[in-house]
Amino acid sequence: MQLVSFAFLIFLPIASLIYFLIPSRFRYIGLFMISAGFYLSLDLKGTPVLAFTLLSAYLGGMFIDRHRGTAGKIVLFLVIAANILILALAKYAGLNFLSAAGMSFFIFMAVGYLIDVYREDIPAQKNIILLGLFISFFPVVTSGPIERAGHMLPQFIEAPGFDYDRMRSGLLQMIWGYFMKMIIADRCAIIVSSVYSDPVRYAGTATLIASILYTIEIYCDFGGYSNIAIGCARVLGFDLMKNFDAPYLSRNIQEFWRRWHISLSSWFRDYLYIPLGGNRKGIVRKYINILIVFVLSGLWHGVSYTFAIWGLLHGIYQVAGGILLPLRRKLTDAFKIDCNSFSHRLLNILVTFFLVNIAWIFFRVTDLHAAIYMVRHIFRFVPSFITEGGLYSLGLDRPNLNLLFMSVILLLAVDIANKKGIVISEKITSFGLWLRWLIYIAAVLFIITCGIWGTGYDAQGFIYQGF
């Protein structure tokens, strides 16, 4: 059962009704059973891996909580190593019987839980059902956000009751997530697939358009999923961490990673970068740590070495940015450039977007030669491709391209508003009753009628579910 499916739209209200009808002290049990049922419907063969991760995290956490010395450290290492080994064998050795939907996400949550217990940030959870709910909570189990036990377990214990304002806010965020996924991401995917399936056939304008559309696609696909997941959890009364915050309005790569896939970037920061020494052991060690973290981040995404190159590029971007920062400051002082002026901020945003866009090419392709070909030809402008209608040969007709263009403009406007601290959903809920409901109904009908539901109206999977 995908989050983008009619089955899920039936499942969610039924699951919510059951959850709120259960007495508060037993709600976590009901929610665990609902989450387990959701996962079984999604990936039956992957359930043993999820069960192993849960059991190893539970027993490991209990042992570590009682043995803080060398024995606890050894168990921590063994449990983490066992789970990472399963992840590596499934991803890199092709052992399909060890593969499970969303395994990268629930394994990372379990590892984070164990490290937090070892650091004494949280006590070990003695209730295996509560811990199981944390690891398998159905909105996040397949594609995140990668939550922290210290944030979620108290909420599960509290078992909040029904709240109309939370439900309304959650549903609005879900609608926006469906808009990002079904209106924008899946339309971009049609053109992107046409070009990336055989990049050598295309050059110049087509390559540039496809690379930009993939940059938009992966944001709207994963950002759309995150909004659906966060909104779904809020309907039930739970607050998940924010996972995206207008990332393509970032002025540098470091800021981009504070705004992109926040749960993953903060996970790598807290559980890898800081333990490696962070920036506490000198500038050279800091840059080495950054490169290690980003290469591992690339490898986390998949088996192709192009993922590692994608991560390495982002590491190099950050290292180069740090090295060149004193020179940039001297130049801005020498030429009396106002760093807060609109033109300077816009230039920084465009340069950052361009660097991110180039890196995404290596993320999308599986062949290095194809990636290099696309990067080399991306600057070769071919006017005839647009003037002679070549754009319409990539899978979308004129009405769909116009709809995509207007939707991206709306996405940009909402991201700008969010960055300025304007919450669109709060503005909508402040409108009068009739106007408010008119917007709700129009948005739902628009997504139902204009959304891309996949070939034969089968639900499209999310990109990050494969990671």
- Assigned domain for 78 exists: yes
Same domain, 171 and 41: no
Measured CA to CA, the distance from residue 458 to residue 388 in angstroms comes to 33
Res 81: pLDDT = 96
For the segment 169-182, the average pLDDT, to the nearest whole number, is 95
For the segment 410-428, the average pLDDT, to the nearest whole number, is 93
Res 279: pLDDT = 87
Nearest to 152 by CA among 132, 169, 170, 167: 132
| Segment among 73-82, 87-96, 310-319, 359-368 with least mean pLDDT | 87-96
Res 455: pLDDT = 47
Same domain, 113 and 11: yes
Residue 181 is which amino acid?
Answer: K
- Assigned domain for 77 exists: yes
Res 321: pLDDT = 93
Same domain, 215 and 93: no
**Do 98 and 89 contact (CB within 8 A), yes or no?**
yes
Name the DSSP letter for residue 463: G
Exposure letters 354-377 (e unless 16+ CB within 10 A, then b): ebbbbbbbbbbbeeeebbebbeeb
Nearest to 147 by CA among 276, 1, 311, 266: 266
Residue 247 is which amino acid?
Answer: P
- Assigned domain for 372 exists: yes
**Do 109 and 146 contact (CB within 8 A), yes or no?**
yes
Is residue 350 scored above 60 in pLDDT? yes
Measured CA to CA, the distance from residue 171 to residue 165 in angstroms comes to 10
Same domain, 67 and 27: yes
Active site residue 301: yes
- Residue where a domain terminates, one of 160, 187, 215: 160
Name the DSSP letter for residue 45: T
For the segment 409-420, the average pLDDT, to the nearest whole number, is 95
* Whole-number average pLDDT of the chain: 91
The domain total for the chain is: 2
Is residue 406 scored above 60 in pLDDT? yes
293-306 per-position pLDDT tens digit: 999 999 888 778 89
- Assigned domain for 429 exists: no
User: Residues of the chain with pLDDT > 90: what percent?
Assistant: 71
- Assigned domain for 42 exists: yes
- Cα–Cα distances (Å) from 352 to 318, 332, 345, in that order, read 11, 18, 11
The answer to whether the Cα torsion of 102, 239, 241, 79 is positive or negative is negative
Same domain, 141 and 40: yes
Same domain, 231 and 351: yes
Q: Is 273 helix (H, G, I), strand (E, B) or coil?
A: helix
109-167 per-position pLDDT tens digit: 999 999 999 999 999 999 999 999 999 999 999 888 999 999 999 999 998 889 999 99
Q: What is the pTM of this model?
A: 0.93
Per-residue pLDDT band for 461 (boundaries 50, 70, 90) equals low
Same domain, 128 and 276: no
Domain of 107 in residue numbering reads as 6-160
Res 458: pLDDT = 47
- Residue where a domain terminates, one of 143, 160, 177: 160
Res 91: pLDDT = 80
For the segment 214-221, the average pLDDT, to the nearest whole number, is 97
Res 457: pLDDT = 41
Res 267: pLDDT = 96
Q: Residue 316 is encoded by which pair of tokens?
A: 């190099």
31-65 per-position pLDDT tens digit: 999 999 999 998 888 899 999 999 999 999 999 99
Is residue 464 scored above 60 in pLDDT? no
Residue 38 is which amino acid?
Answer: F
Per-residue pLDDT band for 453 (boundaries 50, 70, 90) equals low
Q: 191 CB contacts (<8 Å, ≥6 apart)?
A: 209, 210, 213, 394, 395, 396
Is residue 467 scored above 70 in pLDDT? no
- Residue where a domain terminates, one of 160, 185, 216: 160
- Assigned domain for 444 exists: no
| Segment among 67-81, 172-186, 191-205 with least mean pLDDT | 191-205
**Do 244 and 260 contact (CB within 8 A), yes or no?**
yes
- Assigned domain for 435 exists: no
Catalytic residue among 261, 301, 314, 377: 301
For the segment 367-379, the average pLDDT, to the nearest whole number, is 88
382-398 per-position pLDDT tens digit: 777 776 777 888 888 89
Measured CA to CA, the distance from residue 96 to residue 105 in angstroms comes to 17
- Assigned domain for 438 exists: no
